[in-house]
Structure 1
């Protein structure tokens, strides 16, 4: 599976995948466009999915990971996550996940993440956010 660094030209594809995966997207297209031009943000894309991260020194915050519903259950999310986990010089990866997203939580645990905090009523739907980390 070919994974490449996203450019501003990929913003529409990223937005379309987010729209389909999150129904509707949690962010307007302008957020993706801004992050794609930020020196701290990195997006990686493959056919049907993307992952967006922000790196500050030796920590990486995984802000978004999405796979189009038509492409789910094909290993795309795992491949994107593995690609990010190979970033050199990173000692800690962070993310948050909706408590109801059991598939994502299973994937993150499989990839070495552990829950360290719960933010009650974090999302608009009233669900808690489970904060997870992976230390290298």
Structure 2
């Protein structure tokens, strides 16, 4: 299973995966095309799924995680997220998830995310969004500090 960084040529596959996973995609194909052209947005993908994210300074917002229904529960989303977690110099990962998506919430909690806010009636269907974060302590964060007490 080889995860690759997506390019604009992958926009059809990404859109089709989103359509299959979310039935239908909450985003038009043009959103994926725009993000794939943006220097701050990146997509990592396999034929069975993708993760889309935007990085600003030391924070990464995970915009979407999608796995084709025929390939779910095989660890694909976890592998895609692990790829995002390997990005250097990131101190915080953020995402939102529909409160009814219990499988996704459990996965995110397993991967170190915790809820920090609820956005009531956030989605078009009236569901609440759970805002989650995963904080990272950089290896060199405490290096070089001198205790003056």
Question: What is the distance in 2 between the residues matched to 1:47 and 1:38?
Answer: 22
2-structure distance, mates of 1:112, 1:86: 14
| Matching residue of 1:129 | 129
Secondary structure in 2 matching 1:94: strand
Counterpart for residue 61 of structure 1: 61
Match of 1:70 in 2: 70
**How many residues of Structure 1 are paired with residues of Structure 2 in the alignment?**
136
- State the partner residue of 2:15: 15
Question: Structure 2: where are the runs of 5+ without partners?
Answer: 137-149
Report what 1:51 is aligned to.
51
- Distance in structure 2 (CA, Å) of the matches to 1:85 and 1:105: 17
Q: Over residues 5-30 of structure 1, what are the superposed CA-to-partner deviations in whole Å (9 max), with x where a residue is unaligned?
A: 00001000000000011111000001
Residue 109 of structure 2 is aligned to residue 109 of structure 1:
yes
Q: How far apart, in 1, do the equivalents of 2:127 and 2:30 lie? A: 26
User: TM-score scaled by structure 1?
Assistant: 0.99
Rounded Cα–Cα distance in structure 2 between residues aligned with 1:102 and 1:61: 20
Q: Deviation at 1:47?
A: 2.2
Q: CA deviation at 1:124?
A: 0.8
* Aligned-residue offset at 1:130: 0.1
SS across alignment from 2:131: strand
Q: TM-score scaled to structure 2, two decimals?
A: 0.90
- 1:42 partnered with 2:18: no
Q: Hey, what does 1:6 align to over in structure 2?
A: 6
User: Residues 43-68 of structure 1: CA distance to partner in whole angstroms, max 9, x if unpaired?
Assistant: 00012000000000000000000000
> Which runs of 5 or more structure 1 residues have no equivalent in the other structure?
none
Distance in 2, matches of 1:15 and 1:102, equals 24
- CA displacement 1:48-96 (0-9 Å, x = unmatched): 0000000000000000000000111111000001110111100000000
